[in-house]
Structure 1
């Protein structure tokens, strides 16, 4: 089965925070969301939405969990990447955390039919911002307070985050987590049989 090589860039942050990864085209958009959470370093604590052309794809509420959704929102669990017939150069947006509104630009870099271990992270730069830090403007303020011991919020930031290196990205650790995620999905699939 064909796989996509995608590059994801966090919008509104300089220097750029990015990852390149490979994903099977038979993955759903919900799977893509979970894989993005891992490769970026998010904690999967908020809602999300994909935007491609005029389409919006996200998590639909079930009967027990009600929240306001766009009437045009399509179910991320039922649409596979292959359904969109993505081509090299195509882009889509991934919005994570509607409060902080983290925008991610995804670009299809390559389509391959070679057998590969998917998902796999192929590269990246810089650490993902901490959850709930206020989006891109809040992250800039966070970094200022982190770097400056005289900043009025420096101690509060240190107590909140303890250790944080904005330049740190560990591709090996990311791939270990992706492998654990994939193993968990395989075990779940076998249990359902």
Structure 2
């Protein structure tokens, strides 16, 4: 059996017309907190809001950076840095929700796994395909969003891959785009 090194995942922003989606190659060992940062980069957002991941096969479980002291009825919250994405994607889709006010929902799907031989000439992580332009955060008009640029995104992902544990805070690394409010 050949070891799995990476995953190709498809991330679709739900309920948005025209459709917006990105296909990423990510390490098989990526945690939820790390995937959050890559999604922020891929969709041109600023990592300014809370988020959660809910695996479709685990009802009542969410991975999040924010732990609600009051407790959400019927939901078990697990810190995002303590869980890996791959085991959940093997069992089905994962819903990523960003900005609980705007409630941006994304469907994350495993398209295929890749071996070390298959990624020998591939940047990991990287964006290999995209559809649609970035959307504006915070209810701002669509024109307020930065345009999608795959080359720029892959440059930022290359920086992210060399950032070590600092990769969790993309805004501190110069990875996030400059936003002129």
TM-score, normalization by structure 1: 0.71
SS in structure 1 opposite 2:128? strand
Point out which structure has higher relative CO (alpha carbons under 8 A, 6+ apart): 2
| Contact 2:123 2:158 (8 Å CA) reproduced | no
Match of 1:99 among 101, 105, 111: 101
Structure 2: unaligned runs, 5 residues or longer? 168-181
Rg larger for: 1
1:15-30 paired onto structure 2 within 5 Å: 15-30=18-33
Q: Deviations over 1:127-182 (max 9, x none)?
A: 2211101xxxxx6xx35xx6xxxxxxxxxxxxxx4xx57xx421101101111222
Correspondence for 2:135: 129
SS in structure 2 opposite 1:94? strand
Correspondence for 1:149: none
CA distance, structure 2, for counterparts of residue 74 and residue 187 of structure 1: 21
Correspondence for 1:7: 10
Distance 1:45 1:51, change over 3 A: same
TM-score, normalization by structure 2: 0.75
Q: Deviations over 1:90-147 (max 9, x none)?
A: 31110000010000011111111133431110011222211101xxxxx6xx35xx6x
Out of 118-127 and 96-105, give the one that drifted further: 118-127
Displacement of 1:69 after TM fit? 4.8
Aligned residues: 155
1:107-146 paired onto structure 2 within 5 Å: 107-113=109-115, 114-115=118-119, 116-133=122-139, 142-143=141-142
Displacement of 1:37 after TM fit? 0.6
| Contact 2:97 2:103 (8 Å CA) reproduced | yes
Cα RMSD for the two superposed structures: 2.4
- The structure richer in helix per residue is 1
SS in structure 1 opposite 2:162? helix
